[in-house]
Structure 1
């Protein structure tokens, strides 16, 4: 057995005995005889930061991931000392620090060990680059499962896997291929009913081993920087994800049109092709809110330019598209073409904004325009300049949103696919090489884009999309899972990756519906649309190399199926908008994996297919060809079949029929689901009535509906409407109480309630304690009632 008194083992160095302890308010310092300092910071009773320094010196404390607005504070902090250890107590956990080895052990207040060091912190000096490779190993408890880590293309439960975080342009990646486009070094551990999280805030290449090399050990390490991680105690997964989301931030509300259906391809050009596509959407009555222009709209792939042969008057075109309900989204890449006749290149060159190599020359790499230089987005001055470049696009031409691609950064024709490691970066005043800055390069690019778009679409809200991301990028941008493939395996991957991203604090996410590379058949495309309409970001995108991939590209039958489900997306927009509100305000993931929904049920620990859309809708995509149905797991509780209203008991598997035009969807008993009428685009119609689908439950259930002006910032001044419906069902009665907050007045004056599963025929209706004659209600048939939106109490009873 290795002890930390052996200062070196297999090239690794270890802390030895503690010789000094000091406390500075919320920070505790433990110094060892061989110069290791452990700084423990209590952020909350359940959120604790661990930082390790060697040679007595900490690096400057700086992070791109942590949200400056993150809330901190605790109610209790006590430190005790005995012969062998220090004991730190908060209101939620107890932390033991071993005096001989500096190893830590974290327990809940009942004494259950939650997270315990194995070898603990150790390091190895990096002779090639300087600094240390920093390492941490933990004891994996029996039966422990692991989740999170961003866009990993593998089973949702990471036990037995080893993964790496190095943002990579991975075209047509396969199952279990790693790394991909995102670096989110955050995982959730679940053992014996207790969940915790670890966020390793280190932007170097990081690796995680989830009991892969050794069955009882979980470890993580980085090629440089500090061993700097946050421990987050649940004990429920919802608490872990919420605390992590609070730590790294959530986005502001997007414009509602950003939650509509979007159509994209590489590439729609020239202008008449764009107009043909958008006209076909309207002619076929298939709802769509946005059309995307990939790199071919540019003049020779030069960012912030237009090819005037293909788009002679972009301002007019964008305006005409908007009149028909289409927002225009344009692509911007980081590579700036080396061209002395190109104004963006000249500005960056004159202001010394490009990244440089270690010995001074500009970092240069080949991308779509040819040879390019790359702005250093880790420099605040460069971000400010980049934000200003959007002024003409957004203010004068009327572009609505921006899509940042290739921002890993992707570099062609080199083995590494990216910038050389000796590339220098400002890193907001903490100069470093690309080894440290690579994983946050795309994040800082889209941060600058967000700042520019937000400034110049004001008073509207910004919408930005990124391919590359690090932890915290969700504050600035939506994202998608990258260049996938039109295969059934990738349909499965899209489902798992979106669930995993939502568990990793990044909910505004989707996949390229239908697959980017290769060509789907009609069945695969229809099944992918059925999944995609339940993802927060909903966009068809394809390479265009193998044929068309519009909703009408696969014949009338598929077109009708696709239309049916896109229409469902638009009906559910108020529900989806409320999901986004709860994500921004309550840190609640928009898609819930079943293990998040019910971690106590071990059946959920390895489920990959089913997920909860919001809080009330269970979805199970069909992921195999020629399927007439499938077996699926219904989690705890009582549910209703969305299509038939048949009640279903949870906690068991069930065979569900699902021919090509159907998808297994279930609604939680007691839920109240808001619906809008079908629109061809957001705000095409005035909403003169809100439909509420009410699902009976014996007992109590609450549902929320959030509404505002769908754009702009008045909601931050209190001009929103938050309606909380409390449903209470009994054998012969149903009561709905409505509690309202906010000053926003909705367009509609009436609410139509459609009741499902009532065990009685409606006999009397009491509205705000006054009996309403059924003859005076506009409709009382098939369990449908129409009432004023401003009621406070609705009580219906059945016949005795």
Structure 2
């Protein structure tokens, strides 16, 4: 790794005085005497792009990270010139560009400093590979904190840390280990209650130093490519993440079954074992929607093949599983076995689809099948071919989802764990070496997989899972955090990684519940399930080397606890589905760290444990053994203990009891939490009513419930149901208003509301401005009433 100290002694070059300036619509250009050009693009009033060229030449402007449907447009762009600097003003920001050295400062309209450069942009020639090492250093503001950066296994606040983005197969990684499986070079800075974000869109190996080497300097650099970064201003963290997520994109809605519980292992085989596992889930009434087949379902680990001795009739097996409500998900890796009799290998060779070394021959690397070659997924022709390979698996056999693993790409028995850096790539018509393409290789593989599943799963929605990712990969698939370990430390890591990924624009995230490597005991497994059911992607997966890791593997007590939480997951599916809808519509992270939830409260800036599941449920995982109680920080506001209905004022630390069968949970006062009945799998039961838990607040709170057909694309034609509720509580009364959008007719007719924390006994009920008797709304002593789903106003008055 290159250190800043080394950089300082290796011939850094810096821009000098500006000699030319001009503007082209939304872009302004500054050219220095020594050939540096700074291009500033105004995307929005609060979003800017900074791009630097040396020797007067920009590289071709191409990125895999940027979505096709980015929201662009600004209200104001004024440029003025003074003796020391140029000044760019938008409706939200003021940018100062120094004439003598091209350094940049950014303030808000009130003059509050948001970002200022220390050395600013500088570079040095890369003597080993050619091109430049490009660098940027900024002043660390007083009490500044840093968040984001994808799957880093570090404290949620990265202040004082240095990280490296180089997608790596990091088996059994540990806390603070670098690098890991993802490259998401995006961070949020927070100081003086002002939040901003920087996305360094550079696919080479990148480094970020968050005031580690120098307390007052934050820097980032790359081993090649351009200094090309996007700046987003809040001032709220939610506004920054929304802008970054809009830039890099969001996925389509997944099928609802993809949000259920999934069971996996390396590996379930033969067919008899797969069916026994599925049957035991049903016999023990443990809800589950999917079972996974790891590499042992293949013939000699050859992708797109089946081992006919272990799985003599895969189509029939998939059909039998589906009849039990169990979807089948299969693994596909990028390495294609070198075998002249293997049809996938033959096609790739005939069409010249494999990656080549700089000196001409194909790159070869050892993976599970032995010696393999690797398709160049940065070539659009290769992606189209790869997508077509899924026809038999998806359209003919009926597999429901695909899991792309080892796509860093992981290579065995070499110290680098990956392909040689001289491997060549098409890079969508911008030929380059693996130094540039490495971090996007897995992304482009899973993109091709997604295209194939979308085509062959139609009219159903695809489900795809990836291990490796670059910024923007969230458009195509879910992801998980790789080969973790069955330890309490990794339970802590799993919690932090999921929060961090959501803050980095990638919300469809989960971990291997229970740990992939080694074997958890029953206590650790139970605590991990309690955390994992509150992650958007929920899957148990293990290596199988140290024993079984199904919910029933640890005795009846643990099985009962796991069942309790799986049932809770399925009850909360409409809440979770609504979270996903808000993520897609508004870029809102599905999990919210406490600092994201309330950045103005300095008590939240270093909290790692607690997080918001959606916007209204606070989760406090138990992350140590032999714990029957723990302290927690309750954010500002008013909260109800989910298990006891006890009311709490926030903004303070609390002690709560948490025996092994309990994870502390709190509901934000005023929330309306939708629930479905417990099902063994999505679609098992016809929904006869929607249950909503209503938590009283003195004041106002808004809640939302999104529903559609749970699969397919009719929702894009307006066939969805969006219920927006406004709850207003005041002395002696409670009013709930409903505003409905969409043309989807939900299968249920009624909504059953259970009221929590009502400070009065209900004396009168008005429904749509008409007084009704208790029988009409089926009022019961537990403060439950039933109303028609299309009501517009419910008014409860106390005696």
TM-score normalised by the chain length of structure 1: 0.99
The separation in 2 between residues aligned to 1:780 and 1:594, in whole angstroms, is: 37
Match of 2:609 in 1: 609
Deviation at 1:774, TM superposition (A): 1.5
- Secondary structure of the residue aligned to 2:763 is strand
Alpha-carbon deviations, 1:53-100, whole Å to 9, x = none? Answer: 000000000000010111110000000001110000000000000000
Partner of 1:782: 782
What corresponds to 2:665 in structure 1?
A: 665
Aligned to 1:456: 456
Aligned to 1:686: 686
Question: By how many angstroms is 1:776 displaced?
Answer: 2.9
Matched residue, 1:405: 405
Deviations 1:715-773 (A, max 9, x none): 00000000000000011000000000000000100010000000000000000000001
Q: Report the equivalent of 2:745.
A: 745
Which secondary structure state, in structure 2, belongs to the residue aligned with residue 387 of structure 1? helix
Say which SS state the counterpart of residue 212 (structure 2) adopts.
Answer: coil
Report what 1:727 is aligned to. Answer: 727
Residue in 2 that maps onto 1:395:
395
Deviation at 1:502, TM superposition (A): 0.3
Secondary structure of the 1:13 match is: coil
CA offset at residue 629 of structure 1? Answer: 1.1
Q: Which residue of structure 1 aligns with residue 3 of structure 2?
A: none
- Aligned-residue offset at 1:129: 1.1
Q: Whole-Å Cα distance in 2 between the matches of residues 597 and 636 of structure 1? A: 10
Partner of 2:568 in structure 1? Answer: 568
Q: Report how far residue 283 of structure 1 moved.
A: 0.2
Q: Which residue of 2 is the match for residue 3 of structure 1?
A: none
What secondary structure does 1:241 align onto? helix
Following superposition of structure 1 onto structure 2, how do residues 8-157 of structure 1 map, counting pairs within 5 Å? 10-157=10-157
Kept after mapping to 2: 8 A contact 1:423/1:434: yes
The answer to whether the Cα contact below 8 Å between 1:252 and 1:584 also exists between their aligned partners in 2 is yes
Aligned partner of residue 776 in structure 1, secondary structure: coil
Q: Paired residue for 1:274?
A: 274
Match of 2:655 in 1: 655
Alignment pair present for 1:240 and 2:220: no
The secondary structure found in structure 2 opposite 1:775 is coil
List aligned pairs for 1:368-447, cutoff 5 A: 368-447=368-447
Equivalent-residue separation in structure 2 for 1:29 and 1:773 (angstroms):
71
- For the residues of structure 2 that align with 1:205 and 1:475, how far apart are their CA atoms? 22
* Post-superposition offset of 1:126: 1.0
Listed one character per residue, the Cα deviations across residues 519-556 of structure 1 (whole Å, up to 9, x for unaligned) are: 00000000000000000000000000000000000000
- Contact in 2 for aligned 1:336/1:372 (Cα 8 Å): yes
Separation in structure 2 between the aligned mates of residue 115 and residue 66 of structure 1, nearest angstrom? 23
The alignment yields a C-alpha RMSD, in angstroms, of 0.8
Distance in 2 between the 1:110 and 1:621 partners?
A: 41
Deviations 1:460-480 (A, max 9, x none): 001100000000000001000
Distance 1:778 1:726 in 2: 22
CA distance in 2, matches of 1:587, 1:140: 27
The answer on whether the counterparts of 1:461 and 1:713 sit within 8 Å (CA) in structure 2 is yes
> Which residues of 2 match residues 315-394 of structure 1 at below 5 A?
315-394=315-394
Give distance in 1, aligned partners of 2:759 and 2:156. 39
User: Which residue is 2:701 aligned to?
Assistant: 701
CA contact (8 A) 1:8 1:14 kept: no
Contact 1:84–1:98 (8 Å) recurs in 2 = yes
1:494 aligns to what?
A: 494
CA distance in 1 between counterparts of 2:776 and 2:362 reads 78
In structure 2, the residue matched to 1:540 is 540
Partner of 2:636: 636
Q: Which stretch of structure 1 is more off in the superposition, 771-780 or 264-273?
A: 771-780
SS at match of 1:539: strand
Alignment of 1:476-487 (within 5 A): 476-487=476-487
Q: Secondary structure at the match of 2:775?
A: helix
Partners of 1:360 and 1:18 in 2: CA distance: 44
**Structure-1 separation of matches of 2:423 and 2:324:** 46
Counterpart Cα distance in 1 of 2:357 and 2:124: 26
Which whole-Å deviations, capped at 9, do the CAs of 1:151-202 have from their partners, x for residues lacking one? Answer: 0001000000010000000000000101000000000000011000000000
- Secondary structure at the aligned position of 2:576 is classed as helix
| Residue equivalent to 1:4 | none
**Residues of 1 paired with 2:728 and 2:92: CA distance?**
34
**1:780 shift after superposition:** 2.7
Q: Does 1:219 align with 2:219?
A: yes
CA distance in 2, matches of 1:290, 1:158: 36
Q: The residue matched to 1:606 in structure 2 has which SS?
A: coil
Is residue 586 from structure 1 mapped to residue 609 from structure 2 by the alignment? Answer: no
* Residue equivalent to 1:713: 713
Q: Aligned-pair distance for 1:8?
A: 9.8
Question: Matches of 2:19 and 2:247 in 1, distance apart?
Answer: 32
By how many angstroms is 1:127 displaced? 1.8
1:778 Cα deviation from its structure 2 partner: 2.1
Kept in 1: contact 2:10–2:124 (CA 8 A)? no
In structure 1, what is the equivalent of residue 197 of structure 2?
197
Deviation, 1:116, is 0.5
Q: Is the 8 A contact 2:724 2:739 kept in 1?
A: yes
Equivalent in the alignment of 1:172: 172
Q: Is the 8 A contact 1:84 1:100 kept in 2?
A: yes
In the comparison of the two structures, how many residue pairs are matched? 793
CA drift of 1:9 comes to 6.8
Q: How far apart in 2 are the matches of 1:479 and 1:408? A: 13
Q: Report the Cα distance in structure 2 between the residues aligned to 1:543 and 1:192, rounded to whole angstroms.
A: 46
**Aligned-partner Cα distance in 1 for 2:648–2:295:** 49
> Match for residue 303 of structure 1?
303
Q: Aligned partners of 1:776, 1:371: CA distance in 2, in Å?
A: 72
Q: Secondary structure at the match of 2:372?
A: strand
Q: Residues 328-385 of structure 1, C-alpha deviation per residue, up to 9 Å, x if partnerless? A: 0000000000000100000000100000000001000000000000000000000000
Q: Distance in 1 between matches of 2:17 and 2:220?
A: 23
Supply the distance in 1 between the matched residues of 2:10 and 2:179 (Cα, whole angstroms).
27
Normalized against structure 2, the TM-score is what? 0.99
| 2-structure distance, mates of 1:145, 1:559 | 41
- Aligned partner of 2:769 in structure 1 is 769
Q: How many angstroms apart in 2 are the aligned matches of 1:772 and 1:80?
A: 67
* Distance in 2, Cα, partners of 1:347 & 1:680: 42
- Write out the 4+ residue segments of structure 1 that deviate beyond 3 Å after TM superposition: 7-10
Offset of 1:107 from its aligned partner?
A: 0.2
Q: 2:751 & 2:186 partners in 1: Cα distance?
A: 43
Superposed displacement of residue 10, structure 1: 4.2
Residue aligning to 1:182: 182
Cα distance in 2 between the residues matched to 1:774 and 1:469 = 55
Q: Name structure 2 gaps, 5 residues minimum.
A: 1-6
| Residue 618 of structure 1 pairs with residue 618 of structure 2 | yes
Q: Assess if the C-alpha contact under 8 Å between 1:117 and 1:138 holds in 2.
A: yes
